[in-house]
Structure 1
Amino acid sequence: MKRYTSNEAAFFLGYAEFTLRKSRMDGLLAGVKAPPYQKQGHSVFYSENDLIKWLRQFPKQTFTHQFSDDVEKNTNLASAAETDGN
């Protein structure tokens, strides 16, 4: 079982390390129960399995609205350039 430090777990989850540290105090991350962690002395570790399980509770997002609009604009620009012969 792979273990992550707090900094590595924050990167894995897409949060700032400060946000993950704060979640250990208030018990919430992204409005839901924070992922479990283990303390070893002064160090904190998260198991990869726990992080993956925590992430799976959220619906998968493939595109954001802004990103899809940008893709559509770029596609339209490319099509116009091809039509103009550029």
Structure 2
Amino acid sequence: MEHAVASDSKLVPAAAASTEDRARSLMMGHHRLIKQRQQVMLSRLAAEVGLTAADASHYWNHIQGKVHPGFSATYDRSHVALS
């Protein structure tokens, strides 16, 4: 059985490390999509009200790599698409 070295230097099965890497990659992609949707909607709204892109960029609130919980619910994929 193959083993991989985890960040705390313990041996873990390679499949577990691969699963963790895949999960991390999926979460990062999901975060990126939410951020992109929010920024696109903000830029569209800014164009409607006459703000420049520079002015609109001040309204993006990104703290410690996390999307604001309210934005996550608003800009996330819709459950309707999964039905």
More strand by share: 1
When the two structures are superposed, what TM-score results if normalisation uses the length of structure 1? 0.28
> Which has the bigger relative contact order, CA under 8 A and spacing at least 6?
1
User: Which is greater in Rg?
Assistant: 1
- Using structure 2 for the length normalisation, give the TM-score: 0.29
